[in-house]
Every structure is written in C-alpha cells, then in structure tokens.
Chains A and B, each alone.
Chain A
Amino acid sequence: MNIFLVLFKKEIKELLTRQLLISIAAMLFIFAVIGKSVGSHSRSSGVRNSVVLLDLDRSPLSKRIAGAMRKAKAEILPSGAANIAAALADPQFAGENSFILLPAGLEKDVAGQKASRVEYYSRFRRDASGLGPALAAGRVRKLSTAVSGAVSAWALERRLPGLSADLLKDPAPAREFAVIDGRMEQVPVAQVVAFMQSQSYFFPMAVFFIVMLSAQMIMTSVASEKENKTLETLLSSPVDRRLLVLSKLAASTSIAAALSLAYMLGMRSFMSGINSIAGAGPAAAASEALARLGLVMTPSGYLLTGLSVLFCILCAISMAFILGILAEDVKSVQTLLTPLMMPLMLAYLLPIFIDLSTANFGIKFLLYAIPFTHAFMAPQNILMGNIQQVLYGIAYQAAVFAAFVLLAARLFSGDALLTLRIKGFKFGGGGR
C-alpha cells in the first residue's frame, strides 16, 4: 500500500476519537434543539406582520395608503384613537409593536405639493430578544417604501400642475420613533436595533469566551493534579480537604474576577466606541435620543453586569471543578467540557433567534434554568430597566454556585475523587 495512505489512515485513527464523536454529536444535538425551539416558537407566535394604523387624515389618499400596506403583506389593525399616545396605551393593542400615524391634512398637503410626514412608531419590550427588533426595523423600511409609492402614484394620477421631482421621490418622508418603557424618542429604528443587537450578540460572545477559558483552566488544573498524582499527595496531608477545595476555587475566582474586570473595561471601551461613532455628525442627535430612551449604561449598570458575569464565571468554575474531578486525565478535559458547552451554547444562541417576551414556558424555563443566560442578558436587561430580573438572576447564579461548591466539597472528601472517572463518558472504578 502507498506509504501516504498508511500514514493517512493512522492520522485519521488518531484524530477520530470517541471524544471527538461525542463533541460532534453534542453539537448536532444543540443545533437540533435550537432549530426545534425556534420552529415551534415561530409557529406559536406566528409571523408578526400586524401594524396598528392611526389614520387621522381619513381621506381617499389615506385609504389608498392602507391598501398599499396590505399589498405589502401587512395586517392592518385600524385604531380609532385621537392621538398616538392613546393608541399606544390602548389595551387592545398591548401586544403590538408597530404603529403608523397618517397625520391630519396628509392629502391636502400632498395636493398642495408639500411633503407630509408619516410617523412610524416601534415599541421595544423590556424582555424582547431574538430577531424581533431587527424584523421591526425591516418592517418599517418596507412599509415606508409602500407608503411613498402609494402617495407618488396618487399625485401622478391627479397630474398635479407643476409637480416637482423631489416631491415624487419622497412624498411622505418617514419620521421614526422608538418607544421603550413608556419613553418615546424620534430616532431611526435601525439605530436602536443596532444598539440592542450589540448587547445581545457581542457581549454574550465575550462572556462565552471568558467562561470557556475559566472552565478549561480549572478543569485542566484539577485533571492535571489527578494525572500527576500531586492530588494524592495533598489528600494524604493533614490539611482539611474543604480547604483544598476552597483554595482552588478561590484562586480560580481571583482570576475570574480579573477576567470580569477586564470584561467590564472592554465593555466600557466598546460602548464609548459605539457612542463616538453615533456622536459624529448628524448621528449625534440619535445618540442623544438613545440616551433619553434610557439606553445608556450607568456606573451601577456596569457594576451589576460585572457581578452577573462574575457569578456566571463562578458557576462555570464550580461545574468545571466537578467535571475535572471526574476526568481521568488532562486529555479527557476536552470531552468533559461538552456538558458545560451545551448549556452555554443554548444560552448564547437561543435568545438570538427567539423573542423571550413571547416564548413559551418550556423555552423560558430551559433558558432561565441555565445560569449563564442571566449574564448574557444582563446588559440588555439593565438598559431596558429590567433591574429586578438581573438581581434575581444574580441570586439564582449564587444559589447554583453554592450548590456546586457543596457537591465539589462532598466529592473531595470521599473516594469518588480517585475512583469516579469518566473516559469518553464511561464511568468506571479506579486503578488497583
């Protein structure tokens, strides 16, 4: 046989370990869970295309605009409110996120060759997540195009004398408003969405890496002590075993705290980077509007985020400590990270695709049971004023951490430390 093939076969055999297969299976499982959850969530919530239309013009043109929006596949929910505040407060539309206001005198303005501003309101919920906000921004863009088209067509059909090209190009300029927690500001929805996505995509990604790094660090440390038998020496010493657990956790916690601090500093520079981009030129107004909407991180917000991230890392460290105890050797660490990786990936990926404000109980339970979710969502919750949820999350993370520390201390004081081991998820007794 060709020597290359001999070498190739050997390499494949070396690489294709049970650990690798388990990791691949776990990855497939995670994506299957996410796919199924997203699918069932979409079916249950339906594709939201509904728009509340507040027609203050009540003219043939405004009816034509409503028709154009229907053609653009929007489900029009007419509101009889006298103004936008009343429409937003109407309990009938409590679940609606998109509102359009056609101002009184719209037809008259267009007939007089004067651009009339159509107002678009996007309401963002406190616990909104997933693709919902991005879809809202897309919907505004789509409807704005449909409205402009309808108004231009109306003006052309009437062959208004001296009709200007500028007016035809944009006869009903959009005025976009964002509504968050009762506060309303004129700001491009896309800008709000970009800001929110920076919270729900990039920050969790940073935490994800810190958690993985911390977990790997302590697992390798415990597994290497087992493999080198330095642990056996320590266990035979007259030192309280709880002290051994505490010292290891304390050392890892100190490093986790440093990582957490680095995370907070990074987050601050990231935020100021975003704000400096927004602060340039005409976008400065949008930046101020975001601030007025409460989308600014205060020092206490940074502190809470840092605490949540710290407890998230502590949870991961305590879990990884136990997994390290179960590891047969340092090589098994890679496989044993899988049970930690699975909830971590679910906590990171599911909120990207699913709007938690409308998710069913099962998905919500699954996500909030994962202690990492609370840290991933902390910045967004703080910005949206959901402080209570962040505090509950930290309390839950602390409880999970305490439970795992107790379990670790229990494992450390028994035979399990030396006899319970996993090699490719197969439990077995210790050596003789």
Chain B
Amino acid sequence: MNAVELRGLTKKYKDFEAISGLDLSVGAGEIFALVGPNGVGKSTTLKMIATILTPTAGTISVFGLDTVRDAHRVRELISYLPEEAGAYKNLTGREYLRFMAMVFLKDHARAEAATAFGEELCGLKDRLKDKIKTYSKGMARKLLLARAVMIRPKLAILDEPTSGLDIVNGYEIRKTIKQLAAEGTTFIISSHNMAEIEFLSGRIAVINKGKLLACDTPAALRVKFSTEDLEEVFIALAR
C-alpha cells in the first residue's frame, strides 16, 4: 500500500484554481519532495494531505484512509510542520514538546516517551527550560521539527523544513530526516533548496500553476533534461 495517493486532486479558491487534477503516489518510507516556484500550490497540496483543507475535487488517501471521510484517523498517522510555523512563545521548549505530545498521543506514558525523544532530537539541552520567545530562529525551527517527528508519525509533512536556517542547523535537520526515514517514517517535504532536495529525496514532483510537470528520481530528471544540475531542471520546467 502506498503511503499517499493523490487522484485528480483539485482545489479552487472562488474562481481561481490553485491545484488542477494532481495525480501522485508516495511509497511508504520514501522521502518525497514537492518543488515549484512560489505560489503554485505546494502548500495548498500539503495542507490538503494534512487534512486542514478539503479538496474541491479528487481524492487523497493516506495509508488507504480518505483524508475527508476518515480525517480523524488520518490525523492519528500524520504530523504536519507548516512553513514558517511558530510555537507558543510563553511556553518553555520542554513544556511545548510535552503539550504537543499529549495533544497528538493523548496518553501520558507515550507522551512522556515522545517528549524525551523530542528533547534528544532538537538538541537544545539546557535551553529547553527557557521560554521559546528567547530562542533564535534556528533553535525554534529545530524544536518544531523535533515536535513534528517525536511522535514517530507514519507520515511527516514538512513545508520548507530548513527555510531560513544557517548551514549547520539545516544540515542537522536534513540528517535527522534521513535517519527517521531509514527507521520507516514517510516524508513529504517542500523546499526551494535544490541541493537539499537532491540530498534528501528519493523522488521529486515539480508542479507549476497547480499542475504536475514532472515526477521522478533526481537522477532520472537530470538525464531527461540533459543536465547535471537539478536547478536547471527546475528552471526549465518552471518557465
């Protein structure tokens, strides 16, 4: 069974069609990248997979469950990290992880275990007892990423996971994603960083103006577009 199946996925905002008949499949344990220029419907697609927006037409299934009909059950399998998401600034890092673990797992013992894993993943150590408002952007993003994966979801949906981070923080986050994928978590990520995409993902889907333009492995795309540079593939498709 595929982790995610998109069939004829369409999303309209009044007269504007943000996504037009998107068909995609993501295998279990895969790191799948969704790329495209700004405003072409990547975030909308991720939000629909995360059950917080409903498709205008078409279907999405997550591990065989329909995201509209079985939204609640889908939410038990996924974790979503929005682009440029924030956290509750008056909570400490530890309180935030504990709160989110309880919200997602609803079981005290499991939540405690997830919190401990989250604390280890984010690597914030003593700073976890400080309020989030005192964190740098990189620290906050690492905390949020830890939050997204500490519950060991079957599917993690990460919108621009390393956006705005420095090289060291970005590298650490990419390493964590790779490690968790190896342990069985499926990832769908969107990013503008082609080097990151190439490093992380098994397959890439390029979308523009709400339509799927190409979907393949980085190597296959380079061959298809006769280039060594994935950015050139992107530019050729985005034009």
Q: A-side interface residues toward B, CB under 8 Å?
A: 227-230, 232-240, 414-415, 418-419, 429-432
* B103: chain A residues within 8 A (beta carbon): 234, 237, 239
Check B54–A230 contact: CB distance below 8 A.
Answer: no
Check A233–B106 contact: CB distance below 8 A.
Answer: no
* A235: chain B residues within 8 A (beta carbon): 51-52
Which of A237, A415, A432 is in CB contact (< 8 Å) with B104? Answer: A237
Check B43–A431 contact: CB distance below 8 A.
Answer: yes
Check A432–B44 contact: CB distance below 8 A.
Answer: yes
- Give chain B interface residues in 108-126, CB to chain A under 8 Å: none
Check B50–A236 contact: CB distance below 8 A.
Answer: yes
Check B39–A232 contact: CB distance below 8 A.
Answer: no
Check A432–B41 contact: CB distance below 8 A.
Answer: yes
Check B86–A429 contact: CB distance below 8 A.
Answer: no
Check A232–B14 contact: CB distance below 8 A.
Answer: no
For A227, give the chain B residue with the smallest CB separation. B86
A415 vs B16: C-alpha distance when bound (angstroms): 15
Q: Count chain B CB atoms within 10 A of each CB in A238, A239, A414, A429 and give the residue with the most.
A: A238
Check B85–A432 contact: CB distance below 8 A.
Answer: no
Q: Does any Cβ of A come within 8 Å of B195's Cβ?
A: no
Which of B18, B40, B41, B52 is in CB contact (< 8 Å) with A418? Answer: B52
| Known contacts A230-B87, A238-B72, A418-B53; is-contact A429 B13 (Cβ 8 Å) | yes
* A418: chain B residues within 8 A (beta carbon): 47, 52-53
What per-residue 1/0 map shows which CB atoms of B107-147 lie under 8 Å from chain A? 00000000000000000000000000000000000000001
Q: Does any Cβ of A come within 8 Å of B79's Cβ?
A: yes
For B45, give the chain A residue with the smallest CB separation. A432
* Smallest beta-carbon distance A310→chain B, Å: 26
* B85: chain A residues within 8 A (beta carbon): 228-230, 232-233
| Known contacts A432-B40, A432-B41; is-contact A230 B76 (Cβ 8 Å) | no
Q: B-side interface residues toward A, CB under 8 Å?
A: 13-14, 16, 18, 39-44, 47, 50-54, 72, 75-76, 78-88, 100, 103-104, 106, 147, 157
* Smallest beta-carbon distance B74→chain A, Å: 9
Check B87–A228 contact: CB distance below 8 A.
Answer: yes
* Smallest beta-carbon distance B149→chain A, Å: 13
New A-B pairs, 6, CB < 8 Å, besides A227-B86, A228-B85, A236-B50: A236-B52, A238-B76, A238-B106, A239-B103, A419-B13, A432-B18
* Smallest beta-carbon distance A148→chain B, Å: 68
* Smallest beta-carbon distance B106→chain A, Å: 7
Check A233–B43 contact: CB distance below 8 A.
Answer: no
* B50: chain A residues within 8 A (beta carbon): 232, 236
* Smallest beta-carbon distance B13→chain A, Å: 3
* A240: chain B residues within 8 A (beta carbon): 72
* A238: chain B residues within 8 A (beta carbon): 72, 75-76, 104, 106
* A415: chain B residues within 8 A (beta carbon): 53-54
* B14: chain A residues within 8 A (beta carbon): 429
Which of A229, A239, A430 is in CB contact (< 8 Å) with B86? Answer: A229
Check B44–A233 contact: CB distance below 8 A.
Answer: no
* Smallest beta-carbon distance B163→chain A, Å: 12
* B39: chain A residues within 8 A (beta carbon): 431-432
A236 vs B39: C-alpha distance when bound (angstroms): 22
Check B82–A232 contact: CB distance below 8 A.
Answer: yes
Which of A227, A236, A429 is in CB contact (< 8 Å) with B80? Answer: A236
Q: Count chain A CB atoms within 10 A of each CB in B52, B54, B76, B79 and give the residue with the most.
A: B52
* Smallest beta-carbon distance B8→chain A, Å: 19
| Known contacts A419-B13, A430-B13, A432-B39; is-contact A236 B88 (Cβ 8 Å) | no
For A235, give the chain B residue with the smallest CB separation. B52
* B52: chain A residues within 8 A (beta carbon): 232, 235-236, 418
